[in-house]
Chain A
Amino acid sequence: KNQVEQSPQSLIILEGKNCTLQCNYTVSPFSNLRWYKQDTGRGPVSLTIMTFSENTKSNGRYTATLDADTKQSSLHITASQLSDSASYICVVSLYNNNDMRFGAGTRLTVKP
């Protein structure tokens, strides 16, 4: 069983709308949680990084939240654009930072 579960698996929204992607994890001891954007056929690009003590982090139209008590994170995208169409991957690092657990990703499609 994957220790990092993302939902939904895929999502289709209209341009200009907001959306929220979920990441639940069971791994511990926790070091940090990162969200990445991956365009098809490309390498992932970092969006946000949060440590245990941070509960929100923004990067432009992307806002990530973290609840370390319930082991849940979300990525909120506001005013979506066609270029937001991509897979979004949640990654949780354990204390040594070399042990990283990757979610399977959420595939987002933004339609005009």
Chain B
Amino acid sequence: DGGITQSPKYLFRKEGQNVTLSCEQNLNHDAMYWYRQDPGQGLRLIYYSQIVNDFQKGDIAEGYSVSREKKESFPLTVTSAQKNPTAFYLCASRDLTAYEQYFGPGTRLTVT
């Protein structure tokens, strides 16, 4: 999983609660990404960041928020506004001078 860690691996929450997923990388990559993976669908981009203190919305940003206070860290908060938060969440990073994107091991979030 290339120097990207996500924690926890499994997360359970009650409906209406916010939850924060951790993503840390030691690859010195500038760009970091959050994706959501649902069965039978391709990965969908939630947010990405190319530089500290700056981030851009992806295709499905509603109900999610992020921060990028350090180059190594890009936490994702799933808020109570997200209508269907149960999914597998993947964090990735990339050196802006290269094509390759490295993924973390993922966090499976279950909201009941």
Interface centre among A46, A97, A100 (most CB of B within 10 A): A100
**Residue pair B99, A44 in contact (C-beta under 8 Å):** no
**Residue pair A98, B41 in contact (C-beta under 8 Å):** no
| B residues 28-82 touching A (CB-CB < 8 Å) | 31, 35, 40-45, 48, 50, 56
Say what secondary structure dominates the interface of chain A. strand
* In the complex, per-residue mask of A22-59: 1 if CB is within 8 Å of any chain B CB, else 0: 00000000011010100001111110010100000000
B10 vs chain A, min Cβ distance (A): 10
Cβ-based interface call for B85 (8 A): no
**Residue pair A100, B103 in contact (C-beta under 8 Å):** no
**Residue pair B43, A102 in contact (C-beta under 8 Å):** yes
Residues of A near B106 (CB, < 8 A) are: 41-43
**Residue pair B99, A43 in contact (C-beta under 8 Å):** no
Cβ-based interface call for A66 (8 A): no
Residues of B near A45 (CB, < 8 A) are: 1, 103
Give Cα A46–Cα B98 distance, bound, in whole angstroms: 13
Residue of B nearest to A104 (CB): B42
**Residue pair A43, B42 in contact (C-beta under 8 Å):** no
**Residue pair A93, B99 in contact (C-beta under 8 Å):** yes
Can you offer 24 A-B residue contacts whose CB atoms are under 8 A?
A32-B99, A34-B99, A34-B101, A41-B88, A42-B105, A42-B106, A43-B1, A43-B6, A43-B92, A43-B104, A43-B106, A45-B1, A45-B103, A46-B101, A49-B99, A89-B42, A97-B96, A98-B31, A98-B56, A100-B45, A102-B43, A104-B40, A104-B41, A105-B42
A-to-B contact residues, CB < 8 Å: 2, 4, 9, 31-32, 34, 36, 41-46, 49, 51, 89, 91, 93, 97-98, 100-105
